[in-house]
Every structure is written in structure tokens, then in C-alpha cells.
Amino acid sequence: MPVEKILVPVHDNGCDDEALRLAGEIARVNKATVHALYVIEVKRDLPLDAEIAQETSKAEKVLHHLEQLGKELKCSVEATLLQARDVGPAVVQEAVERGSELIVMQMPYKKRFGSFTLGDTIPYILKNAPCQVILCRDAMTPDIKNGSTHA
């Protein structure tokens, strides 16, 4: 699959490194650019451009770490921080604006009310993305296999 631009939405959920590693391998083969995107979800009672220092600091650390990981992986990683009401539409819009040909996402295994769930963001991206999407789900942890987890 020849691609030049790969978008990797990240959110410090423990899966970001694996998503970047996968995108980096694809990027090296295709001499593509990887774009790491961190979207801060802004509550509706705040202005969209509100200063959210704690979230911004966390996001900047995550993005800096991923830029460093990109250097280790020998692939070009550009990092962007956005604030939006909803993550899914922000990721899709960024993919459109950047002309991304691939979105690579990794997600933890999550349960809600006893059943596996994709949440709201991933189905939105899968339905609306203008390009191919690779979604990798982490393995179940022992706690989840035994049903003793909480969502």
C-alpha cells in the first residue's frame, strides 16, 4: 500500500508507542511522513480556545516523546496539538486537510457494562475517514479476561 502521509491519532492511553511503531514501519518502506495528532477534548461549557494548562502540558509531553521515538525508528514524525469538542471529527478533518492516505490507530482492550466496546471515537473515524484506516486492538489483560475490570 503506497502512502506518503500517515496520520496517527494519539491520546496517552498506553497504545501510542505501538501505533507509532506500526506507522513508522509503513513510513520507512514508503518514505512517508508520519503525523502524530493529539486532540484535547474541550468541554462544551468552556470556549474552544480555553487555556487548559494541565491537558496541554500532558499532550506536549506525549508528542515530544513520540517525536523522539520517531527519531529512534528513523522516520519523520510531525506532531500537532489541537483542541476540539469531539475527537473523532477533529481526526477526520485533520486527515482531510493534510491529505492523509492512511490513519493508524491503536486502542486498549476496553469493556463497558461487561462487554467489549470501541467507544464513540473509533466508530466515527472508521465511518467517516477519507482514507484507509488500520486499527490495532491491544490484547486482553488478565484482569479483563477474568471479568474483574471496570470501565
- Helices H / strands E in the chain, number of each: 5, 7
Q: How far is CA 4 from CA 15, 30, 57, 68, 119, in A?
A: 23, 7, 30, 20, 29
Q: What length does the chain have?
A: 151
Contact 107, 122 (CB under 8 A): yes
Dump pLDDT digits (tens) for 60-108. 999 999 999 999 999 989 999 999 999 999 999 999 999 999 999 998 8
Dump pLDDT digits (tens) for 20-67. 999 999 999 999 999 999 999 999 999 998 999 999 999 999 999 999
This model's pTM is above 0.85: yes
Q: Domains of the chain (ranges plus CATH)?
A: 5-145 (3.40.50.620)
